[in-house]
Chain A
C-alpha cells in the first residue's frame, strides 16, 4: 500500500512513535489550520487577489451554528455576537458551540442520513432514533472516530435499541453490501464494483472485494417475529462445525459460516470459498474464525490505515468548505487525483495524531482561512478550488430546526409538515420532513436539487402559514405589538431572525415600497416573513 502521508512521513512517524503522550494533547488546531492554508496556497498557487474575502461576523455566526448545531442563531445571539469585542471571538464561539449537546445531535443526524440514505432495506429506518441518540452521546462524550467506527463494525443486537447496528440493518444483513458500505463509509473506497468483475478503473481485484466480504458472512439480519412496532435484529451464526450451503431468498437472514465467491460462468453453483483478507494490510484470517474475531480484527486494522483518516477528513472538509479534496467524497481511489494532496495528507495525519478527535477536526477546519471565506457560486472545472466557500443546501434537519427557530415554534407542537414521499414508519413530523427534504450527504452537492413538492411545502403548508401570520402568539404578531407600524424596525428583526443579518438599504427600500402598497402593514410584514422563509438564502448555509 502506498503511503498517503508522504509529505510528512518523518514528523508523523516521530509523533506516532510517542503517541501515548502526544495524543492526549494533539496538534494545536490553530497551528495545523495555518499549515493547511499555507499548503493550499503553495499547491494551488493561490494569489491573494483570487481569494474571496473573509466572511463578516454575522455570516460566520450563522455558518458555524448550522455546521455545528444544525440550526440558526436567535436574534439575541446575533446581537450579542456582533457586540462582543473581546479578542479571538471566532475561536471562542467555536469552542463554546462544541460544548453544546446539540453538537452531537446534529452530527449524529448527519451520519444517520449518510447510512440510511443508501439503505437497501426500507424498514431499516427503525434504527434512526437509536442511531441518533447513541451517536450523539458518543460524540458529545468525546469518543474518538476510530472507536465509533469499531462500534458500527462489530455491532449486534436490536435496531430499535442499538444504533450501532445501523449499517447492518440498512444493508439488510447482506454480506457483500455490508462490506461495500463499511469500505465506502469508513475508508472512502468504493470497492463494490469489484463484486462481479475486476474494478474497471481502480486496481482492486474481484478476489479482494470478496476477501473483504469474507469478514461478514456470519452476520445476518432478520425482522423480530411479531414485534409491534416492527423491529429488526442483527444476529450471528457462529457454527463453523455445521456448514450449510443455504440458497434462495432468505440467505441473508441467518448468515452462514463462510463466504463463497460465485463462479460467474456457473451461477447455479456455490462457488469458491474465500478466506477473510483485508486488501489494505496484511490481515488474514483462516476459515473457521469466529464472527466476533473477524469483525473485531477488521475494525482494528481498518481504523489504523491512512484511508480511514483521509476519508473522514475529506468528508468533513467537503461539508464545511463546500468541496472535498477528492470528489465524490466517498470514492477516493486509488487512482484519483486529490486537489491538494499535501494539505489533505497533513490534515489527515494531524487528525490521526489527535486520536481521531472529531471536535479537534472541527476546530481545525473552522480555524482555516479556507473555511472562513465568503461563498461564491460553485466553481467550474477550470477555476481554482478553495478560493471561496460554497453555499450549501440545508439538510432536512437543519432546515426544519431553522424554520422552527425562526418562527419560534416548539417541535412538540408540530403536526404533519412536509412535501410528501412516504416510507416505512414515518411516525413523527421530523421524519416526515426529512423524508421530503432530506438528501444523501454523500452525493456531490452540485447534483442535489430541490423538488416541486418541497417548494410547495415551504410555500403552502397551512401550519407554516399560520405561524407566519400576525397572530397574538406569533413572531410577527409580537413584533407588531412591540414596534407598531414601524416597517423598518420589524423588517430588521425579521431579517435577523431568518437570515441572521440586517437587510441591505436596497432590501429595506423594496420592503418599504411593498408595505406602502399594502392595505395594512401587518399584512405586508406577514408577506415579508413568508418571502424570507421561502428565499433561497434561508434554505442555504452561505
Chain B
C-alpha cells in the first residue's frame, strides 16, 4: 500500500521552499510548513478525464454513447429551440467579411466572391460560407452608438447598456431560462443549459436569474470544464462523497441539525448536481475524440473549429445555448492580413456547423447567430488598420425558420452609412427571441423590485422569417 502511495506522490509532488509573504497575509502569526503545490493546472489531462468519465459509462451503469445520442434525438424534439452564438470578440470588420465594397477606397485589399445565391457577394475571405449562403440571412445594416469594447460587448449580449442596480441576464442565460420555463426540460440533462466555450470579458452571466442559469465556462473546446475530473479515482471520490453525506446527515447532531439545516440541504443539492454531472455519460459530449476523423476534419482545425463541433455535440446532449468565441478582431493595425487569417479560422467551421446541423435535422430548431460588438471604419488608418465603427456593421443568422439566401439592409457605397432598413441591437434581439419562441416582452424583476423586459424596444426584423 505504502509503495503505491509513494509512487503516486513521486508523480505528483514538486516541493518548493519559499519565503513568507508580505506583512498583510495571514502568515505573520501562524507557523507554516511550506507545502509545495502541484504545478499542473486545474484541468486534468484529456486522457485522465476520459478514463474517469469513460469508466463510469463502461461500468454498465449507463448507456453507450450511440444510445445516448439516439436518446438525445428524442430529447431534442422535446427540448424545442436551441441556439449557438458565434461571438466575434473585438469587432469584426464588415468590409472583409459580410459587406465587401469592391472598387471603393473602403474595400482595402480584399476582394469579393459570388455566393450560391445569385447577386449576393461576400468578401473573398469566406469561400465556405459563400457556398452555404442559401441558409444564411446576412444583416448589413446593424447600427448602434457604442464604440467602446466593454459597453458594446455588454450591449450585444444584453440588448441594453449596463446600468446600476439591475443585474441583467446575458442572452444565453435568458434563452436557457425562458426555454426551461416553456417546459423544455422535461427530459433532464445532467449538463447545464448554457455552456460558454472560451472566456469573454464582461459578456455577462445569469444576473438576476440566479446561478442556475450561469454559463458553465470551458476554457478550451478540447478540454472538459475545469475541475470536472475527480482528483482521486472515481471509486474513492464516491467514497468521499459518501462520508461527506453521512457526516452531514446521519445523526443530526452537527451543524446541520439545527443551525444550518437549510444551508446543509442546499449544499447537498449542489454537491449532488456537480458530482452527478461529472460522473454522467453526458460528459462525453466534451470529448471531441469520440467523433470520427472525417467528421473532425470536416470542421477544420483550430480552437474555433473545435468549438463549433463541441457546440453541436453539446446541443445533442441537451444543452440549450452554446456560445463559442473567436477573439482577435480588434484590428487597429494590419487589418487586411489579420482579418484574412481570422476569416480562415471561422469560415469553414461555421459553414460546416450549419451543414452538419442540417444533415442531422437540427437546423430547423437551432438558431445560429454570428456577431461581434461593432464594425470597423471605412477608412484604413496609417497603420493599415481599421478603428471602431458602431454606425454600420454586419451579422448573420441561420436556422430556426430564418429565411436563408437573403441580405437584410444595406450601407452606402463606402460602407459609412446605413441606407436601407437600419437594424438596432434591440431589433436583433427581438428577432433572436422570436426565432426561439421566446416572448421578448417577458419581464424579470431586479432585487429592488424593478421589472425589466428581456428587450426594451425594437421590432422583429421584417421579412427575415420564411
Contacts and interface: CB of A to CB of B under 8 A. Distances in A.
Interface string B11-27: 01101101111011111
Contacts of A452: 192, 211, 216, 270, 273-274, 277
A74 B231 contact: no
Interface residues of B, number: 98
A282 interface: no
Contact of A415 (B39, B148, B199): B39
Given A71-B26, A473-B33, A455 B271 contact: yes
Interface stretch (B67-75, B112-120, B255-263, B408-416): B255-263
A539 B147 CA distance: 42
Interface string B265-280: 0111011011101100
Nearest to B152: A249
A304 interface: no
Interface string A494-533: 0000010000111100110010000110110001101110
A177 interface: yes
B12 A466 contact: yes
Contact of A459 (B25, B227, B261): B227
A450 B231 CA distance: 20
B68 to A, nearest CB: 21
Contacts of A391: 255, 259-260, 263
Interface in A379-400: 391, 393
B247 A375 contact: no
Interface string A426-467: 000000000000000001100101111111110111111111
Given A101-B24, A120-B164, A410-B27, A328 B240 contact: no
Contact of A447 (B210, B216, B258, B263): B210
A507 B253 contact: yes
A244 interface: no
B5 to A, nearest CB: 8
B274 A462 contact: no
Contacts of A120: 162, 164
Considering residues A192, A451, A504, which has the most beta carbons from chain B within 10 angstroms of its beta carbon? A451
Interface in B220-265: 225-232, 236-237, 239-240, 243-244, 246-248, 250-251, 253-256, 258-264
A421 B214 CA distance: 10
A136 B231 contact: no
A471 B274 contact: no
Interface in B21-56: 21, 23-42, 44
A74 B150 contact: no
Nearest to B33: A473
A331 B448 contact: yes
Contacts of B59: none
A507 B270 contact: no
A215 to B, nearest CB: 16
B371 to A, nearest CB: 19
A540 B260 contact: yes
A461 B227 contact: yes
B interface, over-half SS: loop
Contacts of A378: 262
Contacts, number: 284
B302 to A, nearest CB: 21
Contacts of B447: 328, 443-444, 447
Contacts of B15: 473
Q: How large is the interface on A (under 10, 10 to 19, 20 to 34, 35 or more residues)?
A: 35 or more
B381 interface: no
Contacts of A417: 42
Interface string B149-188: 0110000000000111100000000000000000000000
Contacts of B264: 536-537
B105 interface: no
Nearest to A176: B164
B37 A463 contact: yes
Contact of B34 (A101, A413, A462, A505): A413
Nearest to A514: B243
Given A411-B25, A414-B37, A471 B9 contact: yes
Given A122-B202, A123-B150, A376-B258, A531 B270 contact: no
Nearest to A201: B449
B231 A462 contact: yes
Contact of B229 (A460, A467, A505): A460
B150 A416 contact: no
Given A331-B448, A391-B263, A504-B251, A462 B40 contact: yes
Considering residues B29, B256, B271, which has the most beta carbons from chain A within 10 angstroms of its beta carbon? B271
Contacts of A243: none
Interface of B: 1, 5, 9, 12-13, 15-16, 18-21, 23-42, 44, 145-148, 150-151, 162-165, 192, 199, 201-202, 205, 210-212, 214, 216-217, 219, 225-232, 236-237, 239-240, 243-244, 246-248, 250-251, 253-256, 258-264, 266-268, 270-271, 273-275, 277-278, 390, 447-448, 450
Given A424-B201, A456-B274, 10 more contacts: A376-B258, A391-B263, A408-B32, A412-B25, A455-B275, A459-B230, A461-B231, A462-B44, A499-B255, A537-B254
28 contacts: A69-B26, A102-B24, A122-B150, A133-B24, A192-B163, A377-B262, A391-B255, A401-B26, A410-B20, A412-B19, A416-B41, A417-B42, A422-B217, A449-B270, A452-B192, A455-B273, A455-B274, A456-B274, A459-B275, A466-B35, A467-B35, A473-B15, A473-B34, A522-B5, A527-B236, A535-B267, A537-B260, A542-B259
Interface of A: 69, 71, 74, 100-102, 105, 118, 120-123, 133, 136, 171, 177, 180-181, 184, 190, 192-193, 200, 248-250, 328, 331, 374-378, 391, 393, 401, 404-405, 407-424, 443-444, 447, 449-457, 459-467, 469-471, 473-474, 478, 499, 504-507, 510-511, 514, 519-520, 522-523, 527-528, 530-532, 534-537, 539-540, 542
